[in-house]
Structure 1
């Protein structure tokens, strides 16, 4: 039997969903108190994951205090592990509340006789320098350790000095003379001087110190000509000049001298890197002729790496208006350089003006042809060149035909690796102007047929087939398929692997080709091993089947098509519920399909309502109803109320689209555009129906605005349907007959419904793929001792609620938008207790207390505090909800939402008591002056006699 080591705590890295922060900390605390060093080390190294999962101050403070105890009492290996935790948890260090206690426990080791222990202590102080920058005793310890005879301790002191100099102005200035003496001293080893020089880059807080440090570094360059010394010194001088700005001209001249005169290529590369760094903050400060020196150097070199970095420096410099003004003349060296290197296999993007665009396009076409005809394959170079072509097409769409014609000639004559790159470029251009791809349909179909007939396909060929199918879907978006095209796609699918077929079907529904997607999904439903995947594919099959029914030519009437689509969508929603798991709840997908189903049901109900005009005559008392309600539309009877009901349902559907839009913080722009168009579709239909059944309502005259000038290819069919429906709806205004519902108006409404039904729905990317993942986690205190119980609050007192939260990101944080602020909303509402015989006044139940606070996250952590008052006894429901605000001040209702129950005891009601000797018709009420509870030593009780006559 194999031996398996059993850990004292979870191997899942604290990733259990049901494990809270306290349980995780308790589990690790057991490991820290273990007698085995191995278990202690294993517990220590798990703390960074704990901080990432639960980055709340109370937990981080308690954890680091425990680790500081381990550091104080443990051996050097445990201390080294604690050091690694502090270095990996840098962004959480400012959440330590007991900084003094933490420093006291760590600082006690600095007096150890072991130089290794002192060295680790200095390094841990350097790691936490951001929270203790002005601790004088630590500054003194670093200076003392620099004079140590142990090299390990000195190196640790240098590391700590660098960290504290970056944080503390006082420390940087006080260490200037000490570091200068050590660098100039003969007793300091050369390797130690290399470590000391970087400290000087932080000596920029006053003019005299910065000038002295620069003079020292300039003197070091000829004294220590070794490559390592030159590189470190130049880096220090560059950082110093970037901070002070006044030394940028002198530093540029120094770097240019090393670029031209130093024969070592590493020094030349570093000089170019430093010039690039100085070009960003101070291009306007560069001395005259500096850019000409770089151009002269580039002309004399044949090294590709040197050329690329030099062009990068020039690219940053020409973004400055001053540089552009100086080199605007036709014979400038800069323009000559750009002309000579426009065919380079290392292209880069420039902010080119319209002038000379034809020359750029000609050069780019030549470069693409050279790269595709060359025997040496450079797919990365071709990809960069094609990216430049796509950017030109984005700037001016009239260039699309030029590049599509060029790439189309190379599509069928190169190998698969280049085919994928060219297909990606064609897809990007087709997304801008899809009609330009129509001449390539026959070429793409012939390639598909050739690839489909191959007996064995490689992964590269499979990916090529997927890309070619996507090109077909893009090109034929909005067009009717012929039989040969459909058969070509079917042939590819029948000779393809399952994952590639899923990708093809996903691309098909993205561009609205639901018939072919339905065929593919139907063949995949029984080809998966997981039950959840099976139901997910069943959902996609039913969804694509529903959409293909809407514009199917087989169904006879519009009502039949809508009815079948609704049935398919209901099956899809049921399958989606079965496909959901706790880790993948598929909330967006469910809501998106529910709203789509609701919209189709609204269309179906509207058709039924329009038919009422012919089959349900107005009642005999219609004139009386009109006279009583003063509503002329009631003259038509039943159809008026049904049309108004349809208006409410369509408006509700549009509101649901807006609510879903507000929750989709991580959605890509195309998905948001899709939901916005669907909402506008609901608004348009609502206005059309309202204009014929509500007095004073009218259809909009202006064109529909969707928030972006260039509508993406996926949404163009929906936009065309909205624009066509709007043109048809204008006839309603022309046919306005006062307060009369005419047969012509009803037919126009039916025509609008037909147009909106025939619009192919593109399923957005966010339905299948989440590229950005952002979540907010809340911790609310106080919490009840037992889960599900209530929190008790004394009558007349207030409850302090503290809300702490953390923002968690996926693999690509901030890909589409970032969180700049978080809005915390606490709602308090009195509940009607069913056990209590007394039923509260409905007006009291309607009173809701709402408190809102906007906080700015700091390193993905935020906190807010509220003070809640309860005006009367009873049971209250507290709801805490978080919303986020992005960098453009847009509010997103992402949640989460948590609730607490607070119970406030009712005020005691004292029954009247009888006092001997008083009349029977007198009532006496005993009232305590301050409290209902009287202490034993209080003998005097205040009495209030309240007499009431019978």
Structure 2
């Protein structure tokens, strides 16, 4: 075919089915056995990607044994690439099953007469030191190679010694004297000594060795005052101090001495770099007076002028890290403290880097004082300085990074003290509005200003309302697309605070939508849906769904258009009279339900293996179920008038001992509605547990909708009786789902629903028109246009991605056939799994453990909807190691029945269904049922019995 390059090692061609692990390994094995060096190299370099794609021990063990064979019999050129594979696959090395065989094949090259081959062997052994830390023969070879006369071999031995010293306590202690003698020896070249000194940083396994290394390094600092030796030795001492912790104070004092006394700028910079790393260990480990000495040196640098600006910035970096600790803030919050005086002076530095660092430190101290309820001295100076810096930094596009730093400090200060919101909104808003398209402001700077306004606006109601006229003017003036999108988002946020759209705002949005591209239109519609402005989002999605080339995107946009259309249909006004309102609300609910049903179908059509849209589909289905429950509740309330109690109602009351049965059909209907609402709340809880990668705002959205279901179920049970009556008073406090505008709106809605709940009856309860009218009022509130449903962010995008891949063995030899197990024996089931992460791993929560559940369904219950009480369920919790986990189970299937009353055909054989499912446990102990399910068919057969001879 024209334009297609044939490649035997292609992992997955465009439009071709993805290979399995065995096929990919067979193709790479063919390349290893090729007679062409180029094909061998191409096969070798593809192994790291194969390990990432299929990180299972059997494949990795087989692959690395093949590479070890190539290393043993191949050329030095091939050995270099095998070394690179071992270095790139460090986290998969502990999955090698035959470690002895792997090391034997690699180690056999150490006896070669070629020093380059021996050097490559040492480097390869050093790269796999994590799995062979205590191999005495390797330790002996490294020690012997350190005495070699070939420089290449000696450098390789130094590399291997450093790798083994980091892994093995025995090797580090035994090599300490050898390394010390080589460093002190006159015959060792200076370049080699510089390579040997970093090995000393791993000699921290016992007190005597650490003390000896510390003395040696101090001796080197006096004997070798060259810049390279000082920097390397100080780095080794700092790493050693971080490992032992008890020597941190002494190392900080030593670094401060070099900072004060050594006139060389490179040494000062390196000392500040090491102080920065030690500051991350914690300010409580620093000796008393160390911060004062550092502040004194900073004051001297500040007085010297601009010649030492780099050192001043590095010093402020160290102080900024220390200011993150409450110890530093508490010790320097008094008026006139050296740290406050230094930062106040540095805030007015002509260098923006210095000014931003100083004001960041001051803002952190002020936030600490606000959070602890202490007087914040100089807080007004911090506010004034931040205002000035924001205005000045917004004038030049080169200072975008510094501008973002100031805006972050501004948002944190507003979070700690909400009274500052008005001041900063005026300052940032004026800066944003006064920038002209012809000025030097870039799109990034205006977007950063808009993001800061949005963050501050979410902290309180109506915080951005004074900026509304200016935002409308700015929308007409700006030419940057991203700025237009952010300004529209601010407009959505303002109106979401409880206001209605006017003609001017709608016209401004319409003009922006006409002037931007398709991606910007989608972002505007997404923001409108997230803030509950569904009419605007519907119009934009309707125009976009016919402008895309992909079928999946068309169905996705169609689903979004139907979802927003359903919500906008609920927000339409109904007739004024009561009967008209009741009939209108039913029509609105039915229209919204039909649109949601169509949206679910569109989202299923838009799903692909790479983008399943599972959350969006389930969220839409649950919303549809909730609206159906509300419609059913309205019909149940109407049955109080349309279905009077039958003549036998008194007999039913006496038979059931339920006084509420005297009201007839309405009692059963209301209890059915309460059950449906309870079921919907449980489904929301399941959706919550499946959204491991969701952001906190999306999870809060699910909790709010779940709480609405519970409130409605409790209200219905108040009227018709049920378990919810006794639990209704458990939640009497204010609802709090987050600080954002849309979550506060949902919290107010929940509070209003609870306020409209029917009153409790003290005389056993009664289904009266008054109490049923309260239920109708609650439904009118939820579906009568007064509540805007904000679509959560996770509905559109996931900021973190975590997936679990399971592999269950044994597997049938022929695909589709069951695994055969003799009756009376046990099945050894092994479950292996791999955690896969996206670009932002553990952004909101991380995986602490994985819970594997094994359920066994007998033959008689495989196609039954009823749950078997005798179902065999096993669980095991495993902790992943480098994103890999494995566990084993022993299952007893087909045990013969015992006892005269047991049917021997039930458990004596047949085909069982074994299901393995994975759940994720985060660091807080929460269980997230978001893992995959793997099903295995097992056939239990009877072995033929042997006849006894007569």
TM-score (norm 2): 0.90
Determine if the alignment matches structure 1 residue 593 to structure 2 residue 620.
yes
Quick check: 172-181 or 433-442, which moved more?
Answer: 172-181
Q: Which runs of 5+ in 1 are unaligned?
A: 452-456, 909-931, 935-939, 944-950
Partner of 1:721: 749
Give 3-state SS (helix, strand or coil) of 2:934's partner. Answer: strand
Partner of 1:482: 502
Contact 1:522/1:538, CA 8 A, preserved across alignment: yes
User: 1:215–1:816: structure 2 CA closer, same or farther, 3 Å change rule?
Assistant: same
Contact 1:57/1:96, CA 8 A, preserved across alignment: yes
Partner of 1:534: 554
User: 1:890–1:361: structure 2 CA closer, same or farther, 3 Å change rule?
Assistant: farther
* Partner Cα separation in structure 1 for residue 141 and residue 59 of structure 2: 30
* Partner Cα separation in structure 2 for residue 119 and residue 803 of structure 1: 40
User: 1:887–1:223: structure 2 CA closer, same or farther, 3 Å change rule?
Assistant: same
CA drift at 1:646: 1.2
Contact 2:912/2:939, CA 8 A, preserved across alignment: yes
Partner of 2:771: 745
Partner of 1:241: 241
Quick check: 12-21 or 419-428, which moved more?
Answer: 12-21
Contact 1:248/1:282, CA 8 A, preserved across alignment: no
* Partner Cα separation in structure 2 for residue 553 and residue 324 of structure 1: 55
Residue deviations 1:195-215 (CA, integer Å, cap 9, x gap): 111111222333333333223
User: 1:318–1:447: structure 2 CA closer, same or farther, 3 Å change rule?
Assistant: closer
Contact 1:127/1:163, CA 8 A, preserved across alignment: yes
Partner of 2:528: 508
Partner of 1:268: 268
Q: How does 1:132-531 map to 2 (within 5 A)?
A: 132-281=132-281, 283-284=283-284, 286-301=286-301, 302=306, 303-317=308-322, 331-343=336-348, 344-346=355-357, 347-349=359-361, 350-351=364-365, 352-354=368-370, 355=374, 357=376, 359-373=378-392, 376-377=396-397, 378-415=399-436, 417=442, 418-451=445-478, 457=479, 461-477=480-496, 478-531=498-551
Residue deviations 1:248-269 (CA, integer Å, cap 9, x gap): 4443333222212222222111
CA drift at 1:624: 2.1
* Partner Cα separation in structure 2 for residue 853 and residue 206 of structure 1: 38
User: 1:398–1:701: structure 2 CA closer, same or farther, 3 Å change rule?
Assistant: farther
**Of 856, 860, 865, the match for 1:832:** 860
**Of 662, 681, 684, the match for 2:711:** 684
Partner of 1:617: 644
* Partner Cα separation in structure 2 for residue 696 and residue 805 of structure 1: 42
Contact 2:390/2:406, CA 8 A, preserved across alignment: no
CA drift at 1:727: 0.6
CA drift at 1:906: 4.4
Contact 1:14/1:24, CA 8 A, preserved across alignment: no
Quick check: 168-177 or 496-505, which moved more?
Answer: 168-177
Contact 1:825/1:881, CA 8 A, preserved across alignment: yes
User: 1:316–1:462: structure 2 CA closer, same or farther, 3 Å change rule?
Assistant: closer
User: 1:619–1:249: structure 2 CA closer, same or farther, 3 Å change rule?
Assistant: closer
Aligned residues: 899
* Partner Cα separation in structure 2 for residue 843 and residue 367 of structure 1: 65
User: 1:532–1:831: structure 2 CA closer, same or farther, 3 Å change rule?
Assistant: same
CA drift at 1:316: 4.5
CA drift at 1:684: 0.6
CA drift at 1:324: 6.6
Partner of 1:603: 630
CA RMSD of aligned residues (A): 2.6
* Partner Cα separation in structure 2 for residue 718 and residue 446 of structure 1: 31
* Partner Cα separation in structure 2 for residue 281 and residue 67 of structure 1: 41
User: 1:329–1:689: structure 2 CA closer, same or farther, 3 Å change rule?
Assistant: closer
* Partner Cα separation in structure 2 for residue 767 and residue 711 of structure 1: 20
CA drift at 1:18: 4.0
User: 1:399–1:290: structure 2 CA closer, same or farther, 3 Å change rule?
Assistant: same
Partner of 2:900: none
Contact 1:722/1:756, CA 8 A, preserved across alignment: no
Contact 1:673/1:706, CA 8 A, preserved across alignment: no
* Partner Cα separation in structure 1 for residue 99 and residue 263 of structure 2: 52
CA drift at 1:340: 2.1
Residue deviations 1:792-811 (CA, integer Å, cap 9, x gap): 11111111101011111001
Q: How does 1:540-939 map to 2 (within 5 A)?
A: 540-553=560-573, 557-694=584-721, 698=725, 700-701=728-729, 703=731, 708=736, 710-729=738-757, 731-733=758-760, 738-757=764-783, 758=785, 759-832=787-860, 846-870=869-893, 871=895, 872-906=908-942, 932-933=945-946
Rg (Cα) greater in structure: 1
* Partner Cα separation in structure 2 for residue 655 and residue 440 of structure 1: 42
TM-score (norm 1): 0.90
Give 3-state SS (helix, strand or coil) of 1:881's partner. Answer: strand
CA drift at 1:142: 0.8
Give 3-state SS (helix, strand or coil) of 1:826's partner. Answer: strand
Contact 1:799/1:868, CA 8 A, preserved across alignment: yes
CA drift at 1:318: 5.6
User: 1:332–1:413: structure 2 CA closer, same or farther, 3 Å change rule?
Assistant: closer
User: 1:151–1:99: structure 2 CA closer, same or farther, 3 Å change rule?
Assistant: same
* Partner Cα separation in structure 2 for residue 24 and residue 135 of structure 1: 33
User: 1:286–1:606: structure 2 CA closer, same or farther, 3 Å change rule?
Assistant: closer
